[in-house]
Amino acid sequence: MEKKLQELKKRFLQELDGVKDSRLLFDLKNRYLGRQGELTKVLKEVKNLAAEEKPKIGKLANEVKNELTDVFLKTERIINNNQGTTLDFDPSLPGIKETIGHLHPSSIVQYEMEDIFAQMGFGVYDGPQVESEYYNFTALNTPNDHPARDSQDTFWLEQGLLLRSQTSNLQVRMLEKYGAPFRGVFPGRVFRNEATDASHDHTFYQLEGLMVDKNINIGNLIAVMKSFLSEFFNTEVDVRLRPGFFPFVEPGFELDIKCLICDGQGCSVCKQSGWVELMPCGLVHPEVIKAGGLDPQEYSGFAFGLGFTRLVMMRYKIDDIRLLQSGDLRFLKQF
């Protein structure tokens, strides 16, 4: 046993002599002096010695352990000094401010719109972004030869699925699930396979609105839109209605607002027209009412599709829609 201790000490000192790195130094310490190290293994054999030998070997083992520990600590100090681990510290220097995240401008506007519509009695609903052709087109009275079904506008997936091109995909889903009367909005991300420019992107956000009950007419639609826009912009907003065709409404309209970026003078966002196309809207087509499981002779309603990404641009005077999805921190930190 005495011979084993002396050999262990010799090996430790020989290996220690070539160590110049603190990581290797600690590896050596653990291998020899750790709980599962070489010295511990030798000490476990002490119990097998004769009673008269145990005091002598026990004393020698403690001496070896103390000697090796002292040598280790001296070597550790030398290595640390050579590696310059002692750092200068100036307590008068300012600290590093911890940064925190914040909401994206699209989220800010979405939550505000949801609050406004909730105050008007509308529920807020969500639905799938990967949709079937039926709910995205067929149930909305969209003919099979309608241009919107073409690959130029729609991202088609496998097995008849697609990335929804409009949040209108929830109209029939909601009527099937909740029936009438129904009053709700459906905010969410939509996808269009089209070229991008300052006012168009392949990924953007819409808020669909649907109200179905007895005796709903165009006057209800105009009243809701005027109330919402006045509350949202905190001012009277100039709007105009233009006739428009959309398969899921009859009659259909385009609702435009005067461009708030250029105040109607003309800019890249409004394409120099002074007006920004904000939403298609109209009275829900009887075929859509039927697809929702209701009788169009008894129920009517209105629907609108609000491109709220453009409201974000109006609110913050952003002149390029592509900035919103760019991930550019220089842009996002402004909010």
Ranges of each domain in the chain: 2-82, 105-332
Q: Residue 121: left if φ>0, alpha if ψ -120 to 50, beta else—which one?
A: left
Q: Give the residue carrying structure tokens 């300052």.
A: 198
Among 111, 102, 157, 99, which Cα is nearest to 132's?
157
- pLDDT, tens digit, for every residue of 76-92? 777 777 665 445 666 78
Q: Alpha-carbon distance 241 to 277, whole Å?
A: 10
- pLDDT, tens digit, for every residue of 194-246? 888 887 888 889 999 999 999 999 899 988 988 898 898 887 778 888 998 88
> What HEC string does 215-266 produce?
CCCHHHHHHHHHHHHHHHHCCCCCEEEEECCCCCEEEEEEEEEECCCCCCCC
- pLDDT, tens digit, for every residue of 13-61? 777 777 777 777 778 778 777 777 777 777 777 777 777 777 777 777 7
Whether domain 105-332 has CATH 3.30.930.10: yes
Residue 305 has which token pair?
């599709």
- Angle subtended at Cα 327 by Cα 316 and Cα 193, rounded to the nearest 5 degrees: 90
Q: Which residues contact 321 (CB under 8 A, 6 or more apart)?
A: 196, 198, 199, 200, 201, 204, 309, 310, 313
Residue 82 has a pLDDT of 67
What average pLDDT does the segment 276-284 reach?
88
- Binding residue per annotation — 250? yes
* DSSP secondary structure of 51-104: TTTHHHHHHHHHHHHHHHHHHHHHHHHHHHHHTT-PPP--TTSPPPPPP-----
Residue 85 has a pLDDT of 47
